[in-house]
Amino acid sequence: MEGVMVSASTGVMTSLLKKLTTLLEKKQRLISDVKKDVASLRDEMTSMGALLARLSDMEELDAQHRDWRDKVRELAFDMEDCIDVFLHKHGDGDARSSSGLMPRLKIPMARYRIASLIKQLSTRAVEISSSRDRYRLLDVPASAAAGGVVPVDPRIQAIYAEATGLVGIDGPREKIIEWLTTKEGADRQVRVVSMVGFGGVGKTTLANQVYSKMKDQFESTAFVSVSRKPNIIKILSDLVMATRGRMDPAEKHDARQLVDVVRANLKDKRYLVVIDDIWAEEAWNTIKCCFLENNCGSCVITTTRSEDIANACRSGFDGYVYKIKPLTDLDSMRLFHRRIFHSEDACPEQLKSVCGDILKKCGGVPLAILTIASILASHEEVKSMEVWERLKRCLGFHLEKTPAFEWMRHVLNLGYNDLSLDLKTCMLYLGIFPEDSEIRKNDLMRRWIAEGFITRRHHCLGQDEVAESYFNELVNRNMIQIARFDDCGEVLSCRLHDLMLDFIILKSTEENFITVINDDHCTQGPWEARRLSVHIRDSECNDVLSNMGLTQVRSFNLWGPAQWLPPLSKFQLLRALNLEIYNSKGEHYNTSCICSLFQLRYLRTRGIRSKKLLTVQLHKLEHLQSLEVACEAYDDLTLDAKLLPSTLWHLVVPRYVYLGGIGRMKTLRILRPLKTNFTNMDSIEGLGELTNLKELELELASTSRSLIPSLCKLVSLQSLVVINPFFSLPDDILTGWVPPPGDLRRLHVLDCPFSTVPSGWITQLGKLRSLDIQVVSLPRDGAAALSRLTSLVHLELHVAEHAPEEGVVIHGAAFPNLVEFCFRYTVPCLVFEAGAMPRLRSLSIDCYERGARHADAVLNGIEHLCGLLDFRLDIYERDGFIPRVYFGRDHMKNLKCAFIPDSELDTSEQFSGTDLERPQSEEVRKWDRDSLMAAVAEAIKRHPGSPRIIMTVVS
């Protein structure tokens, strides 16, 4: 594997050596003495780089070694910065190529300036090199290169559910449920149970288990995290939304107003609320104002690491404090063996003794057990006694003599030291994100690539594949936690445990890898900040940022108000820029300086007026790979692709931006959205030039003859989403897309209707995992045809006009991998045979209130869906569905009063082209709301698993 270009321990040494070689090329025309200095520097830095790599494999360094390592690392950064500036300004080194007298005079002057800087850097290198002989260096073998792409361990979800959800938790869960549900006499006051324990012992897990088992008994439920630096407004807003409140997201609310909304939502309701991870009594004093006494038997669960806060939480309520205990020896062993061997009884006899010694050091803490077990599970020789003995010896180092928090840090450090050099770098980079962040996997991978942490492997795996392999390995080692999965069943996002984030920030500070500034402190050490992450809320910020030198900063990330955003002119060497602006539209902020950031590779903004940003001369950014701009819509903007760099891989722009001349962006892999209207239909033609495109979102305002020919050229496409908010494309237009790309995994085309299921065409999509499709008529074998797509995880099926009167039959063994099924038709006429959809977890149905009634029962056979957890039914009062394609199912909650009048629904035009119209008859019976809901409820009663049920009426 090629060496990483940038790492936490060695800095930019690999990249620097390549650039020193470039600088020696003849075309640079350096002064002869300077060439000698550069050649000498390259030789010396090569030697230093080899020593840095050896030191990076050592778990502990003494003060002298750390000092030498830090000086070499910072020298490498300064050298590369010097070379980058010189090559950018005078890269061709040819005075004859410059027109005019002044440019030709400036080039010799620049060479003398670079000569002076090289001399200074050379002197520093000699001084550092002379101290090298004073250190005794250990002979540390180089770590083995990693193999191919590492997939996500399929046992991860089961481990979370079984180990942290079941092992040793039954007793505590039932005890807490007993405390919450046992009421004496007429006592129906709010009851509070506060769980207390140190980080990693399982407070959140236990709270979630109690919550999951009890929530169906309550009218209103909420699970809200607080964190160490609580944002009270966000916490209260989450409570408002969780308790089914309505609020305008653009309108500002203070804490008192939000508390009033929550109290109004909970009035006269029996509620269950979990407030997780409380660090400060002040935060609880505000939150508890939401919990009014209404004599309904409501319950509140809190978790905290402090016994004082736990006692404060129960004070004033009928409450208890539950101290969470570590796992027993037996439960610890069960958890340990499951993670390593996927079985409780598979541990070889010769390892049981050393296994007991390791578990003794873990002290029954689930986080420690899983971390150490993951280290062993990742080794190829997982049953090697030598591997286990070596791990046991490492665990004994100062473990028994340190306080619990420091001891846990030692366990985390053990997992960190077992990572390869490049994985350590990728792991430490997670420290840029604020506490409790949900980190998008794809965005994280783009940042890694932009920062130079990822290189191609063996010239066969691209950077995306290598980055995904790194992410998956961190998941498999339990270093990061999966937050959500997407509609294709892939990991969408991850989270960091608070303790892990603290550990990462500590290590990053030691390596001068990341500097974090927030409302409370700054982690900057004695060196120049290289990566700067600023997390500012509405409180007053200290003046650290204003007094800090920003010239050498390579990555700047801001989460906070616009007033804390320094002038971009202060930055010169930025490679990654992320701006998450809160409470400000940034209308007067000057973004023109962005075009001078010649090293920029990643640019993401939210909250800044994107018109100003997108119209600056971004095409000058010759290295920019990822551009994502999110902002509220003002007026439509037509953007010529000539204003954008042709090097872009990922382009995400606001929905009000029309892209023109897109055909020149031949390196694009992700494009969201490509919005077209009558004035820029040439974009559809240019779309066919983007042969590297993998993800595409199209928003069409009209049709074009070039659409299908362009799609046929996109042979690498893996995801296609088509949105037409105002009209539908002609029926069966997509069947002309021949052949469809074989790697297509997502196809969301509800606004591209088919007259019937295109069996011959759609079954070519053998890798499809997520499908949203609308058919005018669904034949008897239509569902069977779709079930041939055996890889489907998500299916949304809309039937516009006609379905079999006997129902849509899902045959046994059909859809073996489907997890989510959304069905829309006038009536819920689904029939499930035994064995159908064995993995289905979520079933959603849209229907009319007065649909044709061909039988007295609905959802026949739903009891065969043994894995069903959630069922949702949306009943529409009028014939005409809200266009969910544009707004999305999540936004339906805010559109319950919207409807499409019958006068505006021209069904004769919308569904023309089919002769399978439903015969009209005065004698056709109709459902009514009450009988339909009763029939559905009766069907759900037959289900043995008691799934969660949500029924709503859309007026």
Contact 656, 635 (CB under 8 A): yes
Q: Which residues of 39-57 are buried (b: 16+ CB within 10 A; e: fewer)?
A: eebbebbeebbebbbebbe
Question: What are the start-end ranges of the H helices in 873-923?
Answer: 884-887, 907-910
pLDDT band at 910 (very low <50, low <70, confident <90, very high): very low
Cβ-based neighbour number of residue 411 at 10 Å: 25
- HSE, side-chain direction, 13 A CA sphere, residue 651: 31
- CA 350 to chain centroid, in Å, comes to 42
Strand partners, 676: 700
Whole-number pLDDT of residue 331: 86
683 contact partners, CB below 8 Å, separation of at least 6: 658, 659, 660, 661, 662, 663, 674, 676
CB 68 within 8 A of CB 132: yes
In whole numbers, what is the pLDDT of the chain averaged over residues? 80
Q: Do residues 128 and 45 make contact, with C-beta atoms less than 8 angstroms apart?
A: no
The hierarchical CATH code for the domain 408-509 is 1.10.10.10
The tokens describing 402, both together, are 């340190």
Tell me which of 349-353, 432-436, 542-546 is least confident: 542-546
Amino acid in position 11: G
The pTM for the full model equals 0.76
- What amino acid is encoded at 81 in this protein? D
Q: Does a cis peptide bond (omega within 30 degrees of 0) precede residue 739?
A: yes
Identity of the residue numbered 30: L
Query: Is 105 a residue whose pLDDT tops 60?
Result: no
Neighbours of 119 (CB within 10 A): 12
Residue 597: which of 619, 627, 575 has the closest Cα?
575
Question: 431 near 514, Cβ under 8 Å?
Answer: yes
Contacts 24+ apart (CB under 8 A), 521-529: 524/548, 527/70, 527/74, 528/74, 528/77, 528/552, 529/553
Neighbouring CB atoms inside 10 A of 564's CB total 20
Measured CA to CA, the distance from residue 785 to residue 792 in angstroms comes to 13
Domain residue ranges of the chain, discontinuous segments joined by +:
8-89+117-132, 169-323, 329-395, 408-509
Instruction: Determine the Cα–Cα distance for residues 951 and 933; give it in Å rounded to an integer.
Output: 8
Specify the pLDDT at position 924. Answer: 67
Q: How far apart are CA 623 and CA 324, in angstroms?
A: 52
Helix axes 63-90, 13-23, angle to 10 degrees: 40
| Nearest to 629, CA basis, from 647, 654, 657, 596 | 654
Please report, for residues 535, 548, 558, 566, 573, the alpha-carbon distance to residue 562 in angstroms, rounded to integers and kept in the order given. 12, 18, 9, 9, 21
For 679-736, the pLDDT digits (tens) are 667 788 889 999 999 999 998 877 778 889 999 999 999 999 998 866 667 889 999 9
Tokens coding 699:
């928003």
Give the three-state DSSP class for 379: coil
DSSP 857-877: --SBTGGG-TT--EEEEEEES
Top mean-pLDDT range of 106-115, 550-559, 728-737: 550-559
pLDDT at 290: 92
CB-based contacts of 650, cutoff 8 Å, min separation 6: 446, 625, 626, 627, 628, 668, 669, 670
Tell the burial category of 520 from Cβ atoms under 10 Å away from its Cβ (0-12, 13-18, 19+).
Answer: exposed
Most confidently modeled range among 89-93, 855-859, 862-866? 862-866
Q: State the CATH class of domain 329-395.
A: mainly alpha
Q: Cβ neighbours of residue 686 under 8 Å, at least 6 residues apart?
A: 661, 662, 663, 664, 710
Q: Which fold has domain 169-323?
A: Rossmann fold (3.40.50)
Tell me the helices (H) and strands (E) count for the chain, helix number first.
28, 29
Cα(415)–Cα(432) distance, integer angstroms: 20
For 625-644, write each residue's pLDDT tens digit: 999 988 765 566 778 888 88
pLDDT in tens, 230-281: 889 989 988 998 887 666 655 677 888 899 989 988 988 999 999 998 888 8
State the CB neighbour count (10 A cutoff) for residue 590: 12
Q: Is the pLDDT of residue 585 over 70?
A: no
List the structure tokens of 664: 């020149």
**Spatial separation of the C-alpha atoms in residues 754 and 776, rounded to whole Å:** 6
Are the CB atoms for 385 and 393 separated by under 8 Å?
A: no
Mean pLDDT of 901-921: 35
Q: Are strands 481-485 and 491-495 parallel, antiparallel or unpaired?
A: antiparallel
Among 76-80, 806-810, 817-821, which is the least confidently predicted range? 76-80
Give the C-alpha separation, 644 to 660, whole Å. 11
Structure confidence at residue 31 as a pLDDT band (50, 70, 90): low
Q: Torsion angle, CA of 130/132/135/138, rounded to 10 degrees?
A: -160
What does the H/E/C string look like for 402-456?
A: CCHHHHHHHHHHHHHHCCCHHHHHHHHHHHHCCCCCCEEHHHHHHHHHHHCCCCC
- Of the two residues 884 and 582, the one the predictor is more confident about is 582
pLDDT-derived band of residue 539, with 50, 70 and 90 as boundaries? Answer: low
Most confident of 327-341, 549-563, 890-904: 549-563
Which of 155, 22, 233 lies closest to 482 in space, CA to CA?
155
Chain segment 459-469, per-residue pLDDT in tens: 667 889 999 99
Instruction: Report CA dihedral (651, 652, 653, 655) to the nearest 10 degrees.
Output: 130
CA–CA dist 226, 774 (Å, integer):
42
Residues 829-863: tens digit of each pLDDT: 999 999 999 999 999 999 998 888 877 778 999 99
In the chain, how long is the greatest CA-to-CA distance?
101
What is the amino acid identity at position 856? D
Q: Which tokens in the block code for residue 452?
A: 């130079």
